């Protein structure tokens, strides 16, 4: 008996679908939980755009939506 992978091979990935997993560290600053910033890869993560100087940063697994961080 042949393995199922020979009978039903997996389809190729959809064009534009990421084949590698890349993770951008993202988070919010202070009380603003709607604006999500890209965080630097430091021990003390800070927004790439420099927002919220001195305010606490919460890291999330969310899409970055800050236009200044996306530049």
Taking only the tens place, the pLDDT of each residue in 19-66 is 555 678 999 999 999 999 999 977 889 999 999 999 999 999 899 999
- 0.75 cut: is pTM over it? no
Report if residue 59 sits inside a domain.
yes
Report if residue 53 sits inside a domain.
yes
CA distance 59 to 45: 8
**pLDDT score for 55:** 95
Q: Which residue, among 29, 26, 27, has the nearest Cα to 55 in the 3D structure?
A: 29
Report if residue 11 sits inside a domain.
no
SS3 5: helix
CA distance 71 to 4: 46
Per the structure, the count of domains in the chain is: 1
**pLDDT score for 23:** 72
Tell me the residue range of the domain where 42 lies: 24-71
Summarize the chain as % helix, strand, coil (round to 5): 5, 25, 70
CA distance 26 to 4: 40
Report if residue 10 sits inside a domain.
no
């Amino acid at each position: 008996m042949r393995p199922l992978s020979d009978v039903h091979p997996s389809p190729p990935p959809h064009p534009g679908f990421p084949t590698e997993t890349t993770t951008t560290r993202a988070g919010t600053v202070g009380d603003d939980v709607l604006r999500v910033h890209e965080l630097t890869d430091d021990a003390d993560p800070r927004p790439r755009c420099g927002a919220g100087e001195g305010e606490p940063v919460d890291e999330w697994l969310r899409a970055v939506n800050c236009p200044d961080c996306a530049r």
